[in-house]
Amino acid sequence: MLATKAEMRRCVDASFPGWVECAFTDASGVEHLIVEKVPTVTAEAISATSTFPRPCEIACILVQERVGPDGRTVLVVDTASPWGVQSTAGMTQFEVLREQVLELEGRPPARR
């Protein structure tokens, strides 16, 4: 399984299981915001009193891989699978640079 690197910026709802605002920038330099349950993006115990920003991961699947005009590898990923994650704008497919994506082989992803 794959995951896009992101950053938790703040706790938006401390009620169980906790909701955080996460952000990442795509290959074109556009920032995307995601508000998601804490266990979906990290195995850490996060609360309203946690220090932010903190790194997190948005699980995704690979849709396409290509080489961009600048020679860098660009991946089209879909966050709808496996956990149904979407941006605050309702998007689930994003073009990100290869170095923004982790392979989660050998360890479980964050879970709902």
Q: Give the model confidence (pLDDT) of 71-88 as tens digits.
A: 999 999 999 999 999 999
Q: With cut-offs at 50, 70 and 90, classify the pLDDT of residue 111.
A: low
Is residue 91 within 8 A of residue 4, CB to CB? The reply is: no
106 with 53: CB under 8 angstroms? no
Token code pair at residue 14: 């401390």
- pLDDT (average), residues 23-38: 97
Per-residue pLDDT, 1: 85
Provide the residue type at 75 as one letter: L
CA separation for the pair 59, 11 (Å, rounded): 19
Cβ atoms of 23 and 9 within 8 Å: the answer is yes
63 confidence band (pLDDT: 50, 70, 90): very high
33 closest CA partner among 68, 79, 73 = 79
